[in-house]
């Protein structure tokens, strides 16, 4: 790799998260709606962090803000409020050449390998395109040609593919070109927004394996957005679950998938295919979510999920729950699925087989961990495990 392709980076001793978002809110101006709102809140106080060499899965139904968050992390959208820290620096405070240099460090792989490649450019030109903006990275024609050959090889294409046009490649090969283009600037983070959803199943596996191999070779971190939960389970180290502009649960992939705490996560995961043959996993009932996702122009008061939550109580309209962390909730919860230990306040209505049945979900939907969740929703715990009534 060319010397000039390597950016000055902070030392390994400075090991905070590579990228973090704290309280990130992003609104868009829209035409006035029936409730008189002219601003749509696409992101509302989002917190997340991405470690070095880690894959963070981002899941949630369409319209929950995944792509908007991706654009903020790519420094393409400036948040209204909140903080982004990239390697300890606020990249939105940078200007001009400094900002341009910073942008190299985070690149994107697009969803549609058919639409995202210019049909009039050869594979070599497409891969070399980022160097037109970032001229100093690859200043000479010979360096560019050599690096294109390296990148083709890295993504499993042949040197002879360099002069072919996108329409001469299969969907999987086109996505490999897209990945090579994303790698051209030697990024530390690649945001993959539904990178395999336009591909056949067998090709999906090949592209996912390529992304995993590249991560092992290059140490690159991924923010991996997908509506396909089995894909996220396959690639992600940690998962953040979004609902209507908020991260409602996050944690290690296995905890989020197998031991979800938030009723929305539980419903999403109950629909995800699993290879886990344990009786607990196999006996898991599918929870059908009823109703539509409310409009982000006019989100419900209190908990945004309350209009679809089988466990909603009156207080859910008044109190906004804190996001839950699967696996290590509030640092004080050690309860398992079989033995929830979180204190639950007396005046919070408990979910019962009857209330779940009334919600049309059947008695099988009642999971003891949701009792735990309900307590957490309304009464976050202090360090001693006591509920905080704020
Ligand atoms: N530029 C924009 N102007 C107005 N509304 C937008 C814009 N971009 C996204 N939105 C809205 O923000 C919400 C989140 O969108 P998006 O981030 O694309 O969700 P997802 O990727 O999860 O499907 C949606 O309601 C969408 O219509
Ligand atoms: S129990 Fe209440 S606060 Fe918790 S997810 Fe359901 S509606 Fe939201
Ligand atoms: Mg999207």
Distance of alpha carbon 316 from the chain centroid: 26
A 10 A CB-CB count for 47 gives 16
C-beta 142 within 6 A of ligand 1: no
Which ligand has the shortest distance to the CA of 302? 2
Q: What angle do CA 57, 63, 65 make, to 5 degrees?
A: 50
Determine the pLDDT at residue 366: 42
How does pLDDT run across 80-139, given as a tens digit for each residue? 999 999 999 999 999 998 998 889 999 999 988 888 899 999 999 999 999 999 989 999
| Residue 305 Cβ < 6 Å to ligand 2 | yes
Ligand 1 pocket residue status of 63, Cβ below 6 Å: yes
Determine how β-strand 19-29 pairs with β-strand 81-86.
antiparallel
pLDDT one-digit tens code per residue, 326-359 = 765 443 232 332 223 333 333 333 334 334 333 3
311, 322, 355, best to mutate for ligand 2 pocket (most atoms within 8 Å of CB): 311
341 alpha carbon – ligand 2 mean position (Å): 18
User: Are 240 and 224 in contact, with CB atoms under 8 Å apart?
Assistant: no
Residues 279-331: pLDDT tens digits?
A: 666 666 777 788 888 999 999 999 999 999 887 888 888 888 878 887 654 43
């Amino acid at each position: 790799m060319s010397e000039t392709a390597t950016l000055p980076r902070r030392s390994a001793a400075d090991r905070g998260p590579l990228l973090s978002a704290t309280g990130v809110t992003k609104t868009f101006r829209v035409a006035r709606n029936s409730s008189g709102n002219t601003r749509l809140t696409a992101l509302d106080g989002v917190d997340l962090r991405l470690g070095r060499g880690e894959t963070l899965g981002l899941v949630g139904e369409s319209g929950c803000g995944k792509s908007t968050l991706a654009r903020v992390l790519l420094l393409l959208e400036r948040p209204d409020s909140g903080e982004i820290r990239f390697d300890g620096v606020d990249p939105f405070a940078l200007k001009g050449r400094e900002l341009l240099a910073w942008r190299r460090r985070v690149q994107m792989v697009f969803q549609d390998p058919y639409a995202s490649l210019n049909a009039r450019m050869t594979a070599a030109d497409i891969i070399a395109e980022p160097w037109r903006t970032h001229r100093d990275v690859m200043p000479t024609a010979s360096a560019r040609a050599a690096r294109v050959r390296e990148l083709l090889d890295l993504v499993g294409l042949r040197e002879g593919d360099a002069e072919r046009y996108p329409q001469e490649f299969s969907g999987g090969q086109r996505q490999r070109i897209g990945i090579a283009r994303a790698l051209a600037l030697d990024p530390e983070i690649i945001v993959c927004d539904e990178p395999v959803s336009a591909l056949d199943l067998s090709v999906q596996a090949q592209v996912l394996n390529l992304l995993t191999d590249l991560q092992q070779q290059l140490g690159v971190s991924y923010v991996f957005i997908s509506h396909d939960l089995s894909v996220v389970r396959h690639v992600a180290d940690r998962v953040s679950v979004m609902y209507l502009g908020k991260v409602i649960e996050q944690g290690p992939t296995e905890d989020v998938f197998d031991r979800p705490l938030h009723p929305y996560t539980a419903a999403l995961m109950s629909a995800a295919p699993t290879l886990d043959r344990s009786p607990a996993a196999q006996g898991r009932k599918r929870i059908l979510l009823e109703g539509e996702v409310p409009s982000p122009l006019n989100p419900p008061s209190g908990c945004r999920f309350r209009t679809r939550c089988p466990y909603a109580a009156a207080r859910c309209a008044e109190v906004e729950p804190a996001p839950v962390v699967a696996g290590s909730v509030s640092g004080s919860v050690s309860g398992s699925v079989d033995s929830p230990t979180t204190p639950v306040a007396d005046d919070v209505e408990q979910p019962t087989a009857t209330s779940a049945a009334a919600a049309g979900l059947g008695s099988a939907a009642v999971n003891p961990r949701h009792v735990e969740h309900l307590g957490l929703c309304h009464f976050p715990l202090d360090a001693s495990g006591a509920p905080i009534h704020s």
